[in-house]
Chain A
Amino acid sequence: MSNKVKDANVSFIIPFLIVVAWFYATTINNMSGAILPKISEVFEAFKNLTQKGQLQQDIIASLVRVIQGYAIASLLGISLGALAGMIPFIRKLILPAATAIRQVPIIAWIPLIILWCGIGELSKVVVIVIAATFPIMINTMSGVSSTSDLLLEVASLYKLGKWETFVKVYLPNALPSILVGLKLGMGASWMAVVAAEMLGASSGIGYRLNDARSMLKSDQVILCIILIGFIGIGTDWLLSRFFKKITPWENNK
């Protein structure tokens, strides 16, 4: 058996055990459906919501919000992180504030953001931007600031301009860290969108989850949790594939 196949098999052990435990709890141990519905009930909920088109609408609504917020957060995080990594004054200027802000749980921002931005799309995007910018920024800064002095001296000997030094020296060195930040930022975006949609939304996976909770539809709650997990795996896989393509030298390490 090849190593790849073995790795794939190992990855299924925990999900398989969870499904076995779930089956045991609901079918053999007869756990109350209000607490943990049967696997078949969750499938039924999936079928019903898909037939009505609600699930597709919710996924699209959340995806659009994540893409908008994540794009802004990536731009902000990479720019600020790169500046802070290259220029010590900017690092000293923004790092303490950034460290303080990123300690605040995203759920604590939501009431204020609703007051400032209302309950429309803007507030959800702002929540995602706040959640995703900092992991991207901190990782970018760390990657850029760890660039070897030797390389910078060589760049200076070649009389490279600031932009050229960034593109030819800092960026290739920082790219793996930036990509880690971008992956973390994507995870943070999903967590943030679900939290934002639980307050004052009328569509999205977070809205559906909260709605199902209000009506004690545990099958839909579990379905939403599973979906969030799958979408997370999907986006992470897509980003990993993309990053592998743009950093071929990392694949040989």
Chain B
Amino acid sequence: MKKMKKKLFAAIVGTFVLSAVTACGSSADNVVDNKEEEITASSDGAREVNIGFVDTSGANILLGSEGIARDNGYFEEEFEKIGVKANLVPMSGAGPAINEALASGSLDIGILGDVPAVNGKSNGIDTTVIAFNGLKNYIVISANPDSGIDTVKDLKGKKVATQKGAFMHRLLLYALEEEGLTIDDIEFVPMTAQDALAALETKSIDAAVVQPNDVSYRLSRENGFKEILFSNNHEGWAAGSITEIRTEYLNANPDVAVAFLTAILRANEYIESNEDALKNQWIAAGYSAESYEYAYPLHDNYTTFKNTEDDIANAKKTLAFLQENDLTDGDFDVDAWYDLSYFDKAKAEFEGSN
């Protein structure tokens, strides 16, 4: 009797654990299937697409072409035409959080920096690039005025913060290399850009490496912090953002990629015919007009879809950077990652409709 009880107990526990794992496995593995089930099961019968974008401000700020497409209702209109409900999801955890959400199937499309996008792909997240947003991301290295830092060389032995695995991290390494230094010569503190600037302001760190923005402008122009490097005058240092889509989702919903890109093309048309569109968007987000001129003197912070060869070369360089710095063990075919046929289709349809 005792033995039977034991066997029964073991069978119940074993069945419970295995069924939990099976359920978990199927939810993770068959994300697209589940998504489709969710889609077909939704009350209004509409398909859905979840689009994640980087928003470290936590204030749902989406700039550039995607911001215009959202704010002017282009996404809504284009997705409505194909019966898709679009959810734009701000990701305060930036690229790494978008990678996790793409891996788990919570997001279908991700708009993120080249470094996390390449890292995600090299770690096995099956995505396809449908748009490269252009090489326009720069860094500034802002230093605490009491730190004794005047040049990049002075960073030796100092506390320098930036987001690990982001393009800022890559460009910091380039800047150090140019002066004959390595990451081991500084005290590297991994922090999000937002936290790094807050830590710099309270002088908890000596320098922060961030994308030029409203706060870095205020610190350097109004609060006496030293800007020891602005990378826009360094040939070949510019980084970019990538729009990628889960390949399984793309195969099941190719029209979603086309609708997304059509909305971006409409946004670009609006931007190109309204000189101050991007500046006004920046100001509407609560930033100053002066900081816009400082961060984007060419008023070009939008998706341009140009220079694909340069973009692919940049992605290859990014993969090499990740591998050389032991940040990824993975590898993949960068050329095969890009599929610009959806862009070509969207462009043809957009030009045809105009």
Q: Which residues of A contact B (CB under 8 A)?
A: 13, 17-18, 20-22, 24-25, 29-36, 114-115, 118-120, 199-202, 207, 210-211, 213-218
Chain B residue, CB-CB nearest to A30: B29
- Contact between B103 and A17, CB atoms less than 8 A apart: no
- Contact between A215 and B189, CB atoms less than 8 A apart: no
Chain B residue, CB-CB nearest to A207: B190
Report B162 CB to chain A, min CB distance, Å.
11
Bound-state CA distance A216–B123 (Å) is: 7
Q: Please name the 8 residue pairs, one residue from A and one from B, whose CB atoms are nearest each other, closest first.
A: A29-B25, A118-B204, A34-B103, A21-B21, A216-B123, A214-B165, A214-B96, A25-B21
Chain B residue, CB-CB nearest to A52: B326
- Contact between B17 and A17, CB atoms less than 8 A apart: yes
- Contact between A202 and B189, CB atoms less than 8 A apart: yes
The answer to whether A202 and B188 touch (CB under 8 A), given A32-B29, A119-B199, A217-B123, is: yes
- Contact between A21 and B18, CB atoms less than 8 A apart: yes
Residues 166-205 (chain B) with a chain A CB within 8 angstroms: 187-191, 195, 198-199, 202, 204-205
Most buried by A among B18, B29, B123: B123
With a cutoff of 8 Å between Cβ atoms, the chain B residues found around residue A118 in the complex are: 202, 204
Report B97 CB to chain A, min CB distance, Å.
9
Chain A residue, CB-CB nearest to B322: A215
- Between-chain CB contacts (< 8 Å), 10 pairs: A29-B22, A31-B24, A33-B123, A34-B103, A118-B202, A199-B195, A202-B189, A211-B164, A214-B190, A215-B96
Report B117 CB to chain A, min CB distance, Å.
11
- Contact between B104 and A35, CB atoms less than 8 A apart: yes
- Contact between B190 and A32, CB atoms less than 8 A apart: no
Report B120 CB to chain A, min CB distance, Å.
6
Residues 239-263 (chain B) with a chain A CB within 8 angstroms: none
With a cutoff of 8 Å between Cβ atoms, the chain B residues found around residue A30 in the complex are: 25, 29
Report A74 CB to chain B, min CB distance, Å.
28
* B58 on the A face (CB < 8 A): no
The answer to whether A215 and B21 touch (CB under 8 A), given A202-B188, A202-B189, A210-B190, is: no
With a cutoff of 8 Å between Cβ atoms, the chain A residues found around residue B195 in the complex are: 199-200
Bound-state CA distance A218–B120 (Å) is: 11
- Contact between B164 and A34, CB atoms less than 8 A apart: no
Report B14 CB to chain A, min CB distance, Å.
7
Of the residues B22, B29, B190, B202, contact of A115 by C-beta under 8 Å: B202
- Contact between A216 and B191, CB atoms less than 8 A apart: no
Report B163 CB to chain A, min CB distance, Å.
7
* B289 on the A face (CB < 8 A): no
Q: What would 10 more interface pairs be, CB under 8 Å, given A29-B22, A32-B28?
A: A22-B21, A29-B21, A34-B99, A119-B199, A200-B189, A202-B189, A214-B165, A214-B190, A216-B96, A216-B119
- Contact between B191 and A17, CB atoms less than 8 A apart: no
* B100 on the A face (CB < 8 A): yes
- Contact between A32 and B124, CB atoms less than 8 A apart: yes
